[in-house]
Structure formats: structure tokens, C-alpha cells
Chain A
Amino acid sequence: MLALVLVATQRGAESPLAMNDRGAESPAPHSGVARAFQARDQNTTLTAVEGLKVGHHTLAERPTGCTVILVDGDATGGVAQMGGAPGTRETDLLHPLNMVDKVNAIVLSGGSAFGLDAASGAVRWLDEHNIGWPTASGRVPIVPAAILFDLGVGGNSRVRPTADCGYKAAAAASITPVEEGSIGAGAGATVGKLGGQAEHDGYPAGSRKPMKAGVGSSSIALSNGLVVAALVAVNAVGDIVDPATGKIVAGVLNPDGTFADARKILRTGQTIRRPRPAENTTIGVVATNARLTKDQANRMALMANDGCARAIVPSHTLGDGDTIFALATGRWSGDVDVTTIGALAAEAMADAIVRAATRATSVAGITAARDLKK
């Protein structure tokens, strides 16, 4: 009760953005029930869903890393894979026809297909904590994963997230508001690649350039207790557009620092640099505290992909491996309405994508939205 009152006060006092900023800086995750309660309710990120923890690990050698979403207990899982160039692990298991319907963690990683190894580290961490699908021979951790391609960003492309990265991210996971920006799986993420001849760091003078994006997260809480949230690492071919205004937030940059606008570039018919399979991909998770069946979780993931369509233009190209996982913890026992949950998942996903662009910081000479001249 005390915690609830506290929460109400905190809510009115500050904007969600300010709370998030402070949350991201707060160092100690576990210091008492009241504090945990407080943190959760101020929280407008994925960890607003009770039972979810998020951990990042970013490599020091090159901007790349991974992000682990740990489920306290397990959650019903689903997936929607829309892009043309995916890199995934354990997605078949999430198909409604297949048996296993609970997952213990999701791993999002940079490093292209190499980064799938990060999931092995999360599996090891879960094994050490005896978490997994029960079998006659012990528990087997279920960890679906998806990767994005960032090998060309910031130096040695042989530096990529490994199992060690996944293990550290799992060990670092906490219920505090998710840290956003150029971190974890979003450390090397970029957007707006329809324009220039972007080859690693050296952009020819006068060419159009991509911009920095990263990890973003957002949550929506209804007064009846339903929570729907999203976390995404945005590394798209396309531009990031705020669906509420139709305006570009980050995307192809002209040499003079203005937005080229992918939508306009496409309509000129001029020979554009084609999106390449191994340079992009947006990967994310939507989660809810509702109790969903596996079929419903898959529908939620599919509808969440509409958030990608709204906030990324173009999206789901042949050069993108866009993959969205859905998690339903089932801790809230209200009536399930998949239409509402799926629609809110799309909204939260679009919000998270916009945040991934606005929270990113410039890395390896690639400009972030916050560093653009106004």
C-alpha cells in the first residue's frame, strides 16, 4: 500500500522521459521491495512487465554487443519474422504446431550470424541457475535469438559478440528501466542506408551517409493492469519516421546534414545503393503480463511488426532480417483481448523504435539524431 502511494506521487512528478534517464543511471537494482515497486512503476521500458529482466553487454574493442531478456520463471513465446535476410535460432520451436511453448530468455545480438553464439552464453547462465524446460535428463534452457549485422561499424570486423558476451549480459540483467541508445545489441546499429556508398568508416566527401541508432524501449500500462512493452535494436535499411507526425527522426543524411528522406529517394527512381543482405536488420521483443496461448503470442508478434512498418520506411526489405519475438508472462489474470494487446504491441514497438534513434549517441563517426544541428 505504501509502495502504491509512493508510486502515484512519483508518477505525477516527472515526465516519463526524465524517469527513464534517471533510471538508466541508477546503479543498484535490488534494494528493497518498495524500491523495486517504485522502479517498476516509474519504468516505461520493457522491464515494466513484471518478471522480465534485461541485461546489456557491450564489447570494448568495437561498437557491438548483445542484449539478453531474461524471464523470471518462463513465458509463452511467439515470433514474427518479416525481413528477407534473417539470422535466428530456436524460432521453429515457437511455431504454433510445435510442442515447446515456454521460453526462458531471448537474446538479441550484433555480429551477424556469429552473434548467435551469444545465446549459448545465456543458455550456460540459465543452466547454472537450473532454469529451463523440464526433461527427464534435467532442465534445458529455451533461448530463441536473433542477430543484426554491424560488422562494418567501427573497426575490426572480426570482433563480434560471443558466448562470453551473452553470459555477461545475462549476469547483468536487472529489473531496472532498460538502458537505451548505443549499447548492447544496438551498440553498432545504424539506419538510413538507402542513400550513400557507406563502406565501413570512410565515406567519400559529398556522399549521403547513414545515421546511428541503437536500442530503444517503451511500455504502455492500462488502468486495468494490462502492461504491453517493447524493446528493439534498430539497424534498418530505412529511415526512422515518427508515426505520430510523419516526420523523419533519423535516416539518410545529405552532405549538408539535412535528411534526404528515403521516401523521396525511392520516388526519384535514381539508381540507389541497393540494400545488402548483410548490413541491416531490426530485432526486438514485445512482452505483456497477460496470459496468452502460443497462437496468441504469435499473433501479438505479427501485429507488433506493424510498429516496424509504421516507424521504419522502407521496412521488411530483402536486406533486412526483421524479427520480433513476443513474450507473455501470464502474471496478470485479466481478460485477454488479443486485438488490444497486439495493437498496443505495435504502438509500443513504434515508440521504442523512435526512442532507439533519439536515445542513440554518435559512434565511430556515425552521427546520431541528438547530434544533428538544429
Chain B
Amino acid sequence: MIAAVLAAMVALQASNGTLTAIRGVRVGHHALDERPTGCTVILVDGGAVAGVAQRGAAPGTRETDLLRGSTQSEVRSTKSDASIDGVDRIDAVMLSGGSAYGLDAATGVMRWLDEHRSGRTASAGVPIVASAVLIDLWVGGKPRIRPGGDCGYRAAAAATHARVREGTIGAGAGATVGKLSGRDHAMKGGIGSAAIVLPNGLQVAAIVAVNPLGDVIDPQTGRVIAGVRTAGGSLADARKLLRAGATMAPAPAGGNTTIGVVATNARLTKADANRVAQMADSGYARAITPIHTPADGDTIFSLATGRWIGEADAATIGALAADVIAQAIVRAVTTATSAAGIPAARDLKR
């Protein structure tokens, strides 16, 4: 009976179509009032095995070294969880606006986790919060307004298992896309989330704050959804601009970067988690053109909760991760609303 109720609860969560479809994962946003910027925290009850892929050329990150290779982080499991091998786990990922200043938001998440241990954190002494930032300082005119420790704390306090809110919110509040012809031609980006649930119970889900130099493309059709706007307000298509040699050169730096998290309920080793993060990066490549430029700091974190005991290999999970990342990117721009005078995809004339 209890099992049936649990199964029903799991099914209900699975239907939410966002990152919180993964059991144990909570998401909280906090956006600032003074300017469109903010942060988004992903908390994992009990922690998760994690990895990272960092391929953009201008990153802003924190605690990524401990996720890599065979580095032994100081993370130790406080509770013995027989379903998971004794490997490194992290408690949270923080995605933030505000450029390198926004890394401070992770401090707020650590404070919140420190105050709310109650067996939920993975680590004995020190909460492990990996973090990446995007650059949105130019949006809304007050570059000194940026997410700090307080923003991170509030986002952590607001984190829930409910369906993730998307669009112009949290780390995506000040996000923009399509800057190859300069910021005047940009469109609004945002934060998007998607989930894939297989019949066998495997779940792979993503959340992405989409703020690239490039355009957002729907890989299923090859069409641009949001990107560089022409003077007439229609989509110029970055691919065409590039092939015509008609982009701004050098590309405008200091206003880009796409950051995200892909999570699964599968059991992964740390090496597998890193491979999944790397494969998930193919989702960036498919849904954003161009990506990984000298002016982008693109980073993806992977989280594996290990609550599903089925059999799946890193290649399958990685392939699904790329798919779900691409979906989340498309959702980020389709759910975005205009801010600071920057139009969103939904504002385009049909």
C-alpha cells in the first residue's frame, strides 16, 4: 500500500516535465528588484555524484576542480546509503547572474545548508556547492546591482520540489541571446527546464540559464527561435550572418555565457558523471549557434542521485542529457518575457 502510494507520488513528480521530476532535487529562484538579475539554486537532498563540462572560453566558476577526474574532494557521506557507491557527492549547484560577483551567491547557499543540515546534506562538515555565473551586468542599466550571498540564501530557502518556474526569472532574469551584431540586436533569454522519463523509470532532466552570444535554434527543425534581430525586427539567423562575414568582429565580450545542470536518478560514478556532462554539452551545440566562443563561459554540471537502481550506461544517459539540455534551452527562450526593453521570442511578429 505504501509502495503504491510512493509509486503514485513518483509518477506525479515524473509528470512535472522539469528538473524537479528527479526525486530529491529542489529548485529555488531569487530575482532582484533593482535590475533584471538573480540566481537559481539546485539542492539535492542527500547529495549527488557530480561532474562538470566547461567548454566556453570565458568561464566564472567555483568548486569545479573538485568535480573533475579522480580528485578526492573532502566530501564524505554522513549517512551510509547502500544504493550508492562511496564516491564524492555535492549538495547543491548555484547558477547566478552578475558575472564573477555572482559567485558570492553560493556563499549564501552554504550558509543556508549549514543552518539546515538535519541529515539532508551529503557532507559531514562543509556543504559543497558548485557554481557558475553568467554575465548580465549590462542589462537594465545598473551594473553594480548583482546577486550576493543574500540572493543565494533566499533562493535556497525558496527551493521546492514543485515544477520549475521558467523564463525571465532567477539566473535567467537578465539573460539575453543573439548578440553577434551587438547588444542592440539582442533578444531576451531566460531559464528553461525539461525532463525525459523512460518507461523503465530512468529520468534525465535539465535546467539551463541561456545567455549565449549566439542564436537559439530548435534542433528538430533547424530553425532559429530567438537571436539576432534585423532592423525590421525579424530574425537575421546567425548562421547566415557568419557565412556572409556580416557579424560584429570581434564579437561583443562581457555579456554572455550559458550555464546549466543536467540531473538523473541513475547511479553514476564520478567519471561517468563527467562523461554525461560532456555529452550534455552537445545539447548546447545543437540548440545554440555559435556556442563555446571566446566570449562565452559555457559550463554544465551533472548530478546523479542514484535513487533509481535500473541498468543504464553513461552513453545512453549522456545522449538523453544532450537531448534534454537542448529542450531546456528552447524552453528558456519560448517562456522568456521581455525585460529592460529587450524583446522575447513571444513578442516577435508572426
Contacts and interface: CB of A to CB of B under 8 A. Distances in A.
B281 interface: yes
Interface in B285-341: 285-286, 289-295, 311-316, 318-320, 322-323
Contacts of A266: 316, 319-320, 323
B288 to A, nearest CB: 9
A340 B242 contact: yes
Interface in A54-91: 82, 84
B243 A344 contact: yes
A267 B290 contact: no
Max chain A CB contacts within 10 Å: which of B200, B202, B251, B293? B293
Interface residues of B, number: 51
B308 to A, nearest CB: 11
Interface stretch (A10-18, A128-136, A197-205, A237-245): A237-245
B275 to A, nearest CB: 6
Interface in A280-318: 299, 302-303, 305-307, 309-310, 313-318
B4 interface: no
Nearest to A312: B282
Nearest to A274: B313
A267 B219 contact: no
A339 B295 contact: yes
B contacts with A: majority SS: loop
Interface in B229-255: 238-239, 242-245, 247, 249-251
A261 to B, nearest CB: 12
B292 A303 contact: yes
A210 to B, nearest CB: 16
Of the candidates B180, B244, B282, B313, the one having the most CB atoms from chain A within 10 angstroms of its own CB is B282
B44 interface: no
Nearest to B55: A302
A249 B278 CA distance: 25
Interface string B174-188: 000000100000000
B282 to A, nearest CB: 4
B19 to A, nearest CB: 18
A315 B282 contact: yes
Interface string A327-364: 00000000101111011101100000000000000000
A339 B250 contact: yes
A310 B214 CA distance: 15
B294 A344 contact: no
A199 B291 CA distance: 37
B245 A222 contact: yes
Contacts of A137: none
Contacts of B281: 309, 316
B213 interface: yes
Given A263-B323, A337-B251, A318 B315 contact: yes
B242 A84 contact: no
Contacts of A307: 285
Contacts of A272: 316
Nearest to B250: A337
Given A263-B323, A339-B293, A347 B242 contact: yes
Contact of A343 (B219, B242, B314, B323): B242
A306 B250 contact: no
B286 A267 contact: no
B315 A269 contact: no
Given A314-B315, A317-B315, A309 B286 contact: yes
A214 interface: no
A223 interface: yes
A261 B289 CA distance: 23
B87 interface: no
B323 A246 contact: no
Interface string B23-36: 00000000000000
Contacts of A82: 278
Nearest to A296: B294
A31 interface: no
A238 to B, nearest CB: 8
A275 B315 contact: yes
A342 B290 contact: yes
A226 interface: yes
A245 B221 contact: yes
B272 to A, nearest CB: 9
Contacts of A302: 55, 292
Contacts of A317: 279, 315, 318-319
Given A245-B222, A306-B285, A339-B249, A269 B199 contact: yes
A343 B245 CA distance: 11
A137 to B, nearest CB: 37
A314 B196 contact: no
A316 B199 CA distance: 25
A238 B281 CA distance: 16
Contacts of A343: 214, 238, 242, 289-290, 293
B219 A310 contact: yes
Contact of B275 (A84, A220, A339, A344): A84
Q: Which of A226, A245, A342 has the most CB of B within 10 A?
A: A342
Nearest to B293: A339
Interface of B: 55, 57, 180, 196, 198-200, 202, 213-214, 218-222, 238-239, 242-245, 247, 249-251, 275, 278-279, 281-282, 284-286, 289-295, 311-316, 318-320, 322-323
Given A223-B245, A316-B279, 7 more contacts: A222-B243, A226-B245, A242-B222, A266-B319, A303-B293, A318-B314, A319-B315
Q: Which 3 A-B pairs have the closest CB atoms?
A: A269-B198, A314-B319, A343-B290
8 contacts: A220-B243, A224-B245, A238-B319, A267-B198, A303-B293, A306-B290, A309-B286, A339-B294
